[in-house]
Structure 1
Amino acid sequence: MNTLHHLGLISTLSVCALSASAQQTGSIRGTITTADGRPAEAVTVGLKGRGQGAITNNQGQFVIERVRDGQYTVVVTAVGLKSEERAVTVSGGQSVSLDFTLTENAEQLREVVVNGARVNRFARKESIDVNKMPLSNLENPQVYATVGKELLTEQLVFSVDEATRNAPGVQKMWEATGRSGDGGSFYASRGFVVSSQLRNGVAGGVTSTIDAVNLEKLEVIKGPSATLYGSALTSYGGLLNRVTKKPYDRFGGEAAVAAGSYGFHRASVDVNTPLNAAKTLAFRLNGAYTYEDNFQNAGYTGFAKDVALAPSLQFQPTDRLTINLDAEVYRSTNVGKQLIYLYFLDKVDNFGFSRADQAPLDYRQSYQGPGLTQDSRSTNLFGQVRYRISPSFTSTTYLTSSRSYSEGNGPYFYLASDIALGKGTTPGVSSLIRADQSTQDSRRQTYQVQQLFNGDFQIGGLRNRVVLGLDFLRLDSDIEFFGGTIDTAPLNVPGYNYRTFNKSTVDATYAAQAPGRYPVTTKINTYSAFVSDVLNLTDKLSVLAAVRVDRYDNKGGILYFPVPAYKQTAVSPKFGLVYQPVKDRVSLFANYQNSFNNQNSSYLNTELQPFVTKPERANQLEGGVKLDAAGGRLSATVSYYDIRVQNVLRTLYTVTTADSATLTISAQDGTQWSRGTELSLTANPLPGLNLIGGFAYNYSKFVNTNENVNGRRPNTASSPYLANFWVSYRQPEGPLKGLGLGFGGNYASDNKILNSVSQGVFTLPSYTVLNASAFYDLPHYRFAVKVDNLTNERYWIGYTTFNAQKLRSIIGSVAYKF
């Protein structure tokens, strides 16, 4: 309570100081363009003789904050450019606008940037979303990884799934099924399952494969992050935040086509244009159409046809007010990837094998026929109003609506032993159970309203960066699952027709016997308030303190079975410490982060009495070092974390009553541990040569829980060892300037997807997947080719399931830039 009291006192003092502080400092902002009218990105703007400055963004814009009244000389510099200087006066704490036009054109600027200061092309050193305030990576006590569009373009990455392979410690576990509500891809981070449900820091889920056509960068924020993001859209392992492309004040864009293996073909476009002469209103449209067959019996039984459209409108009537309106429209017709479950009434010992590579399955065989398709739709609408109240304070209002819809079939499969199926007493598997889980007119809607007040001011000579947030989130589910077992097919029988598991057969089965139905009709409101303050005690030492109060209101409904209404309140604190022994070069950091998971309704204790559950909680302690050394050529983060989950529900035993009802007796005293280390590296050791790499080790186990899994690694924790790397060379000058090569890959150790006393251990074997690309980037054209899975590695992903992954594929692309 003392900590919360002090935090509240700091917040109160901060609010009381707003008016006076707002008058103490102003800002200098502006836009830098090249001689041909294009925005000048990555140019340094500073105050001569002072340590204050900024770097222009991809729209050529810069802001130098917290400038005291006085006369200054603004200097624009970049290695290889002649410096430009201009005098300016700041008075009355007001904002001053100052624009520059360089003598170089865009191509000349690009050349000097490649050869000069902005050599570490894949490094993104600042974020406004990770802590909901502008902070450089070195100032941030939290670990996060950023995958920018520059790397995605070089690797010919077309989806968020592919982008995550560049984030240390992230492993794809389950491909998108397209089902409304829960159909998006799932990944593992720090021993827990995460999904991509956030866009620009607020709700924006997509239940099909998420196209990367509108992706400016992907932020993978590590660890339990409920204090600023809540618990409904995050996990204990972290979250994925998609930062999207924004409109800018000139005409430009590109159109691209690509084609390759397994019937892959794609067309994409990115068009931006101002809509008025003053260039205060701009429109941008990103869109893509993609088709690909399944590599298993390609073109006969599996395919994915996806359309993504992302229009965005930006209106900036004054230098203080910016309004953004965005949309994401996804339409997908697809056949679900071949998910293999292990029969839940079986034991691994009965199989006669315990690894996916030993299973009697044909890697290239699709065990289904045509017609088992599903239609998926996701429509996200976003509104953002940002108003600069004063040079020190900004208000940002977010309005979001996220809707998903699905209808159609969802085929899946069970491996079952001959013993379990009553076909003998000798271990072995000779059959595959084929089943379906369909959705019918299934919908899920998410609404969010979030209000942020950001401040950057001084109290007693100490800098405070504060965010105060109010948040409302509503989840409204109206989902209908139905299905069941269709048939059992023999394995490895020459000439057997596996296409008999098709749309006609499934419909006939349901007509003969009504399928099982599993509705989800819950409605949940969450009301939250949070505050966070980064306080600079010195120019090298800063502390972060934050807290969230979260009121969870479950209106009840059906979650496969009736769920009574209930309410819970949770408090989530966060603390951080950053010390920079070498200013802007070396950062030592530590943090405490918290998250929670609301547990529904009541359970029975050993006295057969109901007890109301408490929120399950996760607490993380983390520390490490961040580097931005060698003149920006080397960026690295090394960290160690320890996550402890408490209040885990565990089943003690079941009892049968006199009327033959089965009652489950539970306790809420289980725990789960997850600890490990992570390393990320981005470097530019030589001109034109760029490296990225990452390594992660995670140790997870259940503690004091059901004896069936107690002391074991959770089957959702993924591979304990993960590594990624990418090496890129781009010719920086000469007649072949823009010609480049890239090579890299991913390693994952063995993954236990089944790990219990009752069933045993089943493992997905380790894998190393290598990829390569070649490209020629010219002022108006880009030619590229990539080879994924260069060595034709056979490997599987999954948790509780296993899913064979695509073999070697080759894709070529041509883009026209205008």
Structure 2
Amino acid sequence: MQNFYLPDSWICLLANLKSLNRLFLSTALIFLAATASAQIGTGTVAGRVQDVSGKPVRYISVAVKGTNIGTTTDEGGSFTLSVVPAGEQRLVISGVNHEKVEQEIYVEPGRTYAVTVTAREKVNSLQQVEITGRKETDYRNEVSYLATKTATPLKDVPQAVSYVTKEVLDDQGAYRLGEAVKNISGVNQFSGYQDYVVRGFRTSSGSSFLVNGLRTQGWFWTQPLTVNLERVEVIKGPASALFANSNPGGTINRVTKKPLDESRKAINFSLGSFNTLRVAADFTGPMNEEKTLLYRLNLGYENAETFRDLQTNKTFVIAPSFSFLPNDRTSVNFDLVYTQNNTRLDRGQPIFGATAGTPLTSTPISTSLSQVSDYMKVDELFSTLSINRKLTDKISVSASYMKFAAFEDLFEHRTSNRYATVVDTESEEFKALDAGTPFGRGASFLVTDPTQMEMQVFDRRRHAYTDNLTSYLTYEGNTGALRHQVLVGADYIQNMQPVGGATRIARNYRTADGRTVTVDRLTKNDLVNAQPVPNVPFVNLANPQPAIASPENYVYTSQSYAPTKYYTYGFYVQDQIKYGPLQVLLGLRQEFYRDVTAYKTAEEETVEQEKLLPRIGAVYSLTDNVNFYATYTEGFQPQSAGTLQNPNVGGPFDPLNSNMVEAGAKTEWFNDMLTLNVAAYQIEQNNILVNANAPDNPDLLRQRGQERARGVEVDVYGNPLPNLSITANYAYNRTEITQDQEGDPLGLEGRIKENAPLNQAGIWARYDIPNGFLKGLGIGLGSNYVSERNTFATYRKGADGKELGLTLPAYTIFDAAIYYRVDKFRISANFNNLTDETHWVGGYDFVRLYPGTPRNYLVSVGYTF
């Protein structure tokens, strides 16, 4: 072996630093000894948390008592704790919906201790109203408060409830509600507003939209942002037995994010097509060591143009939330959400002509009739206070109150829903007309110019308030072999538009003396260059020229909005009965609807409408993973007070009544990681008012109408593989007018309702590469299909039954995304409408169509800490 010698200079240096060397050596030995002792004195704890049936308990906290060592279980209920001090330790398992468990363990140095812990679900899981947040981070949601007003597993609800979670919204880059509903079976857009179709029935009224199970009543011109939403869910069919007057097709509920008892913080920046800039932030966690006070703060900001001319979105959202859990019997939550919208009101794309066969692309899909100086400012503010108190082991009381306020400041140029009227100067009738004689209705020389739009201007200010109060008592007990969960409660809902709303409108045509009249009241003396002069200039569809308008040059008519108010209250009882594998839901509600006309005037009068609403359903558990269900429920929508009080219409009339029969199956697969639901249904709506076609009374109405929807829906959610997430849906729905006015020349019986597609389907899947050099990379792929739809300009005429008018074509859209996560950063890119298909998501008629967004992209960078 070769000897090794130090140079003489090194020996001299070591000799001179002898004392310092000893100090370094002593320190190193102490450090090595301490490190060895630490390694020898610690071990690892690995295990699984399951419920009493052996199913994994996901996302529950696991900690070593007396230390800051802790984690949460993964999707399979597994966990690992490293560097646990050796010796006897106490493992603590705790979660919002499960009873706290402490288990003794013994950790041997340098070894792994394996443990399986059983966590029991709390019998009365904290609340009957949603107080604390959902910890899951996947595409599935297992519990809903919407369908029964109690925390009920979705598989045990005897009615279809579809949803989309925040994880899907994040992966798709879906920033507004309209981008979310495409993931829900049987739901599509009616227009570009907060205006949707559920199972063939339009849901534009305020009674069709809830936030945390409480009604909102804002302006439907803008779609809500999703940055503060935990999920969007839809209870299919009439929900009046739970929420008073409601749409027969379904009710859309936005569930806001609630605080979590663990710290999570995230911020995300996005840039994309149409000069899009978005920022979103989400912070949550405990505010004290005892975790009795929790918070959550969501922020969102968007500054973006769109593919539509002059249409922009500047939106800001701030949404703080606090939960107070002083003990295991009491829970309180307070939410506040403020949204500020600064945009223009998009009235849709007009096209040339008003006859069958006019191509939808006769004008570019970007064509808008807005002017540069138009604006729309909409502010919404709502706050919610929810309280739950467990009085005894069997009795709980819950109450929620929401105050919702909406403010609108609008100035817009919009179509008059018709094309320009011009004079055929070569007409013999026109030539023979006296100069001072009004043209009159039906004059043959008044013709339509399908290349120009007749315009009008609205200048409007108004505000509205909605109050919601719901309170109920829940009792859980047994009657022999029957297990009951009885709910008894009362609701009160009030909407008011107070004094202070006003509008001024510029429309029609100018007379020679500066007044405005309809075109049939003009005379030859009012014409300029032998043509009518519009109060607001026509827009040439062949060459629209947006400009800074001159509103001072228009002639306006002004009016104040009469203050309005309605309120409705109801009392209800519900019993969820369980006997072995059979569960039965029985519900009954008595509703009292009051519409106050001429509110706060000497002519104030209250119009009363009432309805008794039953609901019955049953669920049979064939196995632990397969449930079959059936349900019958009724709904109602009150007739407007103005209609009921008009002496010419022939009332009084009953409210619009609806009923639904539904049956289906709810199943779980792949160790409960994938949910597949199937529903078949029939919905009928009756008492629809139609014109009586009385020659001597054009206002006379007759209550004969009926509409019916029949269909099948399929929903799939979950993780069939550990790194694969999927949400998919399909709906076949035929919603048609089944009873119409006798002798109606349009022959509407058998006609498919407007914007109600026969078929629609959607799928979105994400796969994350688990290992290798591509670990951290994810890929998302999706597609949506909607079949053709009728518009209001479509009708049936003739013995051959041929459809004439305007039909929106079917479309298929393909989307993709790529994700990369490294440490605490996530980078993603979303590519939507990959094939750049021109399509229309909805529309009214020839002058108001709503094209879908062409190919676009969105790049995002997120950081969690």
Q: TM-score range by the shorter chain?
A: 0.7 to 0.9
Q: Which residue of 2 aligns with 1:616?
A: 656
Determine which of 474, 477, 482 is the counterpart of 1:457.
477
Report whether the alignment pairs 1:721 with 2:759.
Answer: yes
Alignment partner, residue 45 of structure 2: none
Q: 1:31 Cα deviation (Å)? A: 6.2
Q: How many residues align?
A: 709
**Match 2:716 to one of 677, 681, 691:** 681
**Paired residues for 1:276-291 under 5 Å:** 276-291=288-303
- Residue identity in the other structure for 1:508: N
Alpha-carbon spacing, 1:254–1:534, altered in 2? closer, same or farther (3 Å): same
Is the partner of 1:653 in helix, strand or coil? coil
Q: Which residue in 2 is equivalent to 1:303? A: 312
The verdict on how the C-alpha distance between 1:690 and 1:41 changes in structure 2, with shifts beyond 3 A counting, is: closer
CA-CA distance at 1:482 after TM superposition: 4.0
Structure 1 outlier segments of 4+, above 6 Å? 28-31, 71-75, 93-96, 418-421, 423-428, 602-609
Is the deviation greater in 605-614 or in 547-556? 605-614
Tell me what 2:678 maps to.
Answer: 638
Distance 1:721 1:483 in 2: 41
Query: Does the CA contact (< 8 Å) of 1:519 and 1:558 recur in 2?
Result: no
**1:83 to 2:87 alignment:** no
Which residue of 492, 495, 499 maps to 2:546? 499
Q: How does 1:97-246 map to 2 (within 5 A)?
A: 121-176=138-193, 185-195=194-204, 197-205=209-217, 207=219, 208-231=222-245, 234-246=246-258
- Alpha-carbon deviation of 1:329? 0.1
Could you say which residue in structure 1 is the equivalent of 2:606?
565
Instruction: Determine the C-alpha separation between the residues in 1 that align with 2:647 and 2:415.
Output: 40
**1:717 Cα deviation (Å)?**
4.3
The answer for the alignment partner of 2:557 in structure 1 is 515
| Displacement after TM superposition at 1:398 (Å) | 0.4
CA distance, structure 1, for counterparts of residue 423 and residue 604 of structure 2:
35
Correspondences of 1:412-427 after superposition (within 5 Å): 412-413=414-415, 416=418
2:570 partner SS: strand
User: Does the Cα contact within 8 Å between 1:655 and 1:664 map onto a contact in 2?
Assistant: no
Residue 824 of structure 2 corresponds to residue 789 of structure 1: no
Q: 1:730 to 1:603 in 2, by over 3 A?
A: closer
Please state how far the C-alpha of 1:750 moved relative to its aligned partner: 1.0
Aligned CA distance change for structure 1 residues 72 and 444 (closer, same or farther; 3 Å): same
Helix, strand or coil at the partner of 1:154: helix
Per the TM alignment, residue 490 of structure 1 is displaced from its structure 2 partner at its CA by 2.1
1:768 aligns with one of 806, 812, 828: 812
Write the distance in 2 (CA, Å) between the matches of 1:81 and 1:136.
34
**1:373-388 equivalences in 2 (<5 Å):** 373-388=375-390
How far apart are residue 774 of structure 1 and its match? 0.9
Runs of 5+ unmatched residues, structure 1: 1-27, 46-57, 66-70, 97-109, 111-117, 177-184, 343-347, 657-661
CA distance in structure 2 between the partners assigned to 1:334 and 1:453 by the alignment: 44
Given the superposition, is the C-alpha separation of residues 380 and 157 from structure 1 closer, same or farther in structure 2, using an over 3 Å criterion?
same
Conserved? CA contact 2:420–2:453, under 8 Å: no
Question: Is 1:472 aligned to 2:492, yes or no?
Answer: yes
Distance 1:256 1:520, change over 3 A: farther
**Deviation at residue 37 of structure 1 after TM alignment:** 4.3
Asked whether 1:580 is paired with 2:621, we answer yes
User: How far apart are 1:534 and its partner, in Å?
Assistant: 1.4
Which among 458, 476, 484 is matched to residue 437 of structure 1? 458
Amino acid at match of 1:578: V
Q: Does 1:546 align with 2:591?
A: no
C-alpha spacing 1:604/1:682, structure 2 compared with 1 (3 Å): closer
**Secondary structure, in 3 states, of the residue corresponding to 2:97?**
strand
Structure 2 residue 301 is matched with structure 1 residue 262: no
1:73–1:87 contact (8 Å) kept in structure 2 = no
CA positional deviation for 1:606: 14
Partner of 2:630: 590
* 1:705–1:437 CA distance, 2 compared to 1 (3 A): farther
Aligned to 1:812: 859
Distance (Å, rounded) in 2 between the aligned partners of 1:372 and 1:568 = 40
User: 2 CA distance for matches of 1:803 and 1:607?
Assistant: 38
Contact 1:688–1:731, Cα closer than 8 Å, also in 2? yes
1:409 alignment partner, SS class? strand
* Aligned 8 A contact 1:620 1:644 in 2: yes
Pairwise mapping of residues 395-410 of structure 1 onto structure 2 (< 5 A)?
395-410=397-412
Q: 1:428: Cα distance to partner? A: 7.6
- Among 246, 251, 265, the alignment partner of 1:253 is 265
**Equivalents in 2 of 1:74, 1:448: separation in Å?**
48
Tell whether the 8 Å contact from 1:764 to 1:802 is kept in structure 2 after alignment.
no
Give the aligned partner of residue 505 of structure 2.
483
Is the alpha carbon distance of 1:641 and 1:416 closer, same or farther for their aligned partners in structure 2, counting shifts above 3 Å?
same
Q: Following TM superposition, by how much is the alpha carbon of 1:453 offset from its aligned partner in structure 2, in angstroms? A: 1.7
Q: Secondary structure at the match of 1:613?
A: coil
Structure 1 residues 792 and 81, CA, compared in 2 at 3 Å: closer, same or farther?
farther
Equivalent position to 1:32, from 52, 56, 61: 61
Contact 2:61 2:73 in 1 (8 A): yes
Other-structure match for 2:795: 756
RMSD of equivalent CA atoms: 3.6
**Alpha-carbon shift at residue 570 of structure 1 (Å):** 0.7
Which SS does the other structure have where 1:248 is aligned? coil
The structural deviation recorded for 1:651 is 1.3
In structure 1, the residue corresponding to 2:386 is in which secondary structure?
Answer: strand
2:590 aligned with 1:534, yes or no? no
Read off the aligned partner of 2:704 and give its amino acid letter.
Answer: D
Give the distance between the partners of 1:61 and 1:204, measured in 2 at CA: 29
Report the CA distance between 1:614 and its aligned residue.
Answer: 1.3
Which string of whole-angstrom CA distances, capped at 9 and with x for unpartnered residues, describes residues 182-223 of structure 1? xxx111011111256211111245543211111111111111
| Residue of 293, 299, 313 corresponding to 2:305 | 293
Partner Cα separation in structure 1 for residue 104 and residue 611 of structure 2: 48
